Structure 1
Amino acid sequence: MFNSILNQALEQYVSDRVDNILSIAGVADAKYKKLVREADSVLSQLMEIARELEAQHSELLRLVMEYEAATNIESGLAAEIVYREGIRDSCRIRQEVANFMQKQI
């Protein structure tokens, strides 16, 4: 039960932290900000075309919307995976530094 509580807390922490990092990047990182604007522009163009062609291809608008949702979920999951690996790397590096220091003493 304790492990379950810790896992839930870590899941929430990672999710909140990733959201916070991406929020800061959206303001502070010019490269990321530019990419987000470009992606939004492309999506807007796709949605416009899909709406224009909806009468001929009724599934097109739904597919564009599903693609947008899937890419958003994939992007968020990728960010969480990277953050978790960063936490693991941090723990390993600390352990290696501690071992190195122990050998020096």
Structure 2
Amino acid sequence: MLHSVLKQAFEQYVFDRVSDILSLASVTDAKYKKAVKESDAVLSQLMELARSLEAQQPELLLLIMEYEAVTTLEAGLAAEIIYREGFRDSCSLRQEFAALMQQTM
């Protein structure tokens, strides 16, 4: 029971932290801000094109909307995985550094 509660709390923490990091990056990181802006521009162009072709290709608009949802989910999951691995790496590095310090003393 405790393990489940702690796991759920950690999952929520990771989700919230990744969201905070990406929100901050969209303001402070020029490369990320530029990539988001370019991605939004391309998606807007695709949506505009799909709307203009809706009579001939009605499935195109739905396909683009589905693609946007799937890529957004994929990017979010990738960010969470990367954050978790970074967290694990920091723990491992801290342990290795502590062991090295004990050896040198």
SS of 2:96 mapped into structure 1: helix
1:68 aligns to what? 68
TM-score by length of 1: 0.97
2:29 aligns to what? 29
1:77 aligns to what? 77
**RMSD in angstroms over aligned alpha carbons?**
0.6
Q: Does 1:6 align with 2:2?
A: no
Task: List alignment gaps of at least 5 residues for structure 2.
Answer: none
Deviations 1:44-92 (A, max 9, x none): 0000000111111111000000000001000001000000000000010
Q: Offset of 1:101 from its aligned partner?
A: 1.5
Task: List alignment gaps of at least 5 residues for structure 1.
Answer: none
Rounded to whole Å, the distance in 2 between the matches of 1:31 and 1:100 is: 36
What number of residue pairs does the alignment pair up?
A: 105
Runs of 4+ in structure 1 deviating by more than 4 angstroms, as ranges, are: none
Rounded to whole Å, the distance in 2 between the matches of 1:5 and 1:97 is: 31
Rounded to whole Å, the distance in 1 between the matches of 2:13 and 2:34 is: 27
TM-score by length of 2: 0.97
